[in-house]
Structure 1
């Protein structure tokens, strides 16, 4: 029994069974308990602390390798929304800024040499100021309740190109004929990714259906019958359009312009009459519904 007590450094529990512990024994047990508690706290602090570098190896955090350089970069990205690791992240944040009407951050995503092709407009939009003015008008036209719902965002692996599929919603209800796709080409400017080229394709409210295929058949048949004229036309289509406008202004403009003006005046008169009739009907309904 004595040997067991001396070897452990403490009084064996079977030696103190049935008798009151002495004051010295109580002090020793208190010291042992205090030391164990302090050691447990030290272990707990070491478990919750992050050793950035130990023995030149990256440690595991939640089952993944944790690199201090990547950690500092991610923290910087969280502090500043202008830094993005991929074009897809940039495009997602870009549409978030449009929904939130955040014009200051939106300007950081646009390059100085940005070039935008919006298929609803006849001419492309060139330059950061013009592109920013376009998106500013877009955010103003959306009002307070219309938002972009971005469904899919994909990107090229080797190139800084991303595409987004979206539609517009009013209070989380989809608006008809507002589906579209946007294609973005990004470029690195310093330590930031910015949009340098964009093309936006919006769903057309007109649905001609099979007539488009019939028209395409006529056009392709004409191209096949006149290959030389087709090659010349495809290389310089603006020349044909300018000649068509000149012919229209010289020969047909004198006769068609008065007809078009009278047609427009007739429609204006019809809209005025409809508005007066509608107001009259509303006044009658107010009288009877009171």
Structure 2
């Protein structure tokens, strides 16, 4: 009887010790908030420091690749901002041969001072060659800012300078969309907006207000006109040809010829003054 009681007592004692041991292990293994949160924060901080270190190494090494887990990131060799900067440098250096290397074969260039856009590589290159010839030897583009949206689009603020002196009314903005062709980044679409020398000021707001009032009064007609503006131009040209051309064309032609004569006389007088100054300043 005593042996039975002793055996049962030992069994109960062993069962109690086993239960406490399991309870202790369970308490240790439970992810309590007080124990695990600092550990998780420490892991995040270490991971963030390691990530910044890897990104720093990636930015300093141009052609190297960085690996994050199962993903491998490689820096792109193409940059629209860098290419556009080199493009303006080519224009300033009057390098017409290198200019071809920046223009795509299907380039579409809209210069808002011209009535029609330039389409195709030949027309766009011809425009920039005429631009370089018109700039002379001392006029250059001064690029103020180049803003890059992604690897294929960039916007540029610029103005013209003569011997590093800004020229009035020559500020402009250009927007470029590029494409990869072969191993180069080329200009595919472009638009240039140039500052107007005419500053109408508040007159523009008055005209806009009157125009929008007409739009609101005749919405159907406005919608038709905005969708087909070429129809208006055709009708205006027909009316001009039928009723006004016979009277206005001779006046315009005489006005143009008069200004041509004035410009020739001015150039002649200017050349004479330059020659006289060269003689006396020697």
Task: State whether residues 114 and 196 of structure 1, in contact with CA within 8 Å, keep that contact through their aligned partners in structure 2.
Answer: yes
Out of 88, 110, 120, the position equivalent to 1:127 is 120
Partner of residue 108, structure 2 = 115
Relative to structure 2, which stretch is displaced further, 167-176 or 266-275?
Answer: 266-275
In 2 relative to 1, CA 279–218 (structure 1 residues): closer, same or farther, beyond 3 Å? Answer: same
| CA distance, structure 1, for counterparts of residue 132 and residue 275 of structure 2 | 36
Report the CA distance between 1:174 and its aligned residue.
0.3
Q: Which runs of 5+ in 2 are unaligned?
A: 1-52, 66-75
Q: Does 1:248 align with 2:260?
A: no
Task: State whether residues 115 and 198 of structure 1, in contact with CA within 8 Å, keep that contact through their aligned partners in structure 2.
Answer: yes
| CA distance, structure 2, for counterparts of residue 283 and residue 101 of structure 1 | 28
Task: State whether residues 177 and 188 of structure 2, in contact with CA within 8 Å, keep that contact through their aligned partners in structure 1.
Answer: yes
Task: State whether residues 84 and 192 of structure 1, in contact with CA within 8 Å, keep that contact through their aligned partners in structure 2.
Answer: no
| CA distance, structure 2, for counterparts of residue 279 and residue 145 of structure 1 | 19
Aligned pair count?
A: 219
| CA distance, structure 1, for counterparts of residue 269 and residue 127 of structure 2 | 38
Out of 180, 189, 204, the position equivalent to 1:197 is 189
Match of 1:259, SS?
A: helix
Report the CA distance between 1:224 and its aligned residue.
1.0
| CA distance, structure 2, for counterparts of residue 164 and residue 108 of structure 1 | 20
In 2 relative to 1, CA 165–247 (structure 1 residues): closer, same or farther, beyond 3 Å? Answer: same
More helix by share: 2
Match of 1:212, SS?
A: helix
Partner of residue 160, structure 1 = 152
Partner of residue 150, structure 1 = 143
Report the CA distance between 1:139 and its aligned residue.
1.1
In 2 relative to 1, CA 230–138 (structure 1 residues): closer, same or farther, beyond 3 Å? Answer: same
Match of 1:132, SS?
A: helix
In 2 relative to 1, CA 273–68 (structure 1 residues): closer, same or farther, beyond 3 Å? Answer: closer
1:159-199: CA deviations, max 9, x gaps? 61100000001110001111000000001112221110000
Out of 189, 194, 202, the position equivalent to 1:210 is 202
Out of 72, 80, 83, the position equivalent to 1:87 is 80
Match of 1:193, SS?
A: strand
Out of 251, 263, 275, the position equivalent to 1:259 is 251
Q: Does 1:170 align with 2:165?
A: no
TM-score, normalised with respect to structure 1: 0.65
| CA distance, structure 2, for counterparts of residue 200 and residue 263 of structure 1 | 31
Task: State whether residues 119 and 200 of structure 1, in contact with CA within 8 Å, keep that contact through their aligned partners in structure 2.
Answer: yes
TM-score, normalised with respect to structure 2: 0.67
Report the CA distance between 1:141 and its aligned residue.
1.2
Task: State whether residues 155 and 175 of structure 2, in contact with CA within 8 Å, keep that contact through their aligned partners in structure 1.
Answer: yes
Q: Which runs of 5+ in 1 are unaligned?
A: 1-59, 73-82
What RMSD, in angstroms, separates the aligned Cα atoms of the two structures? 3.4
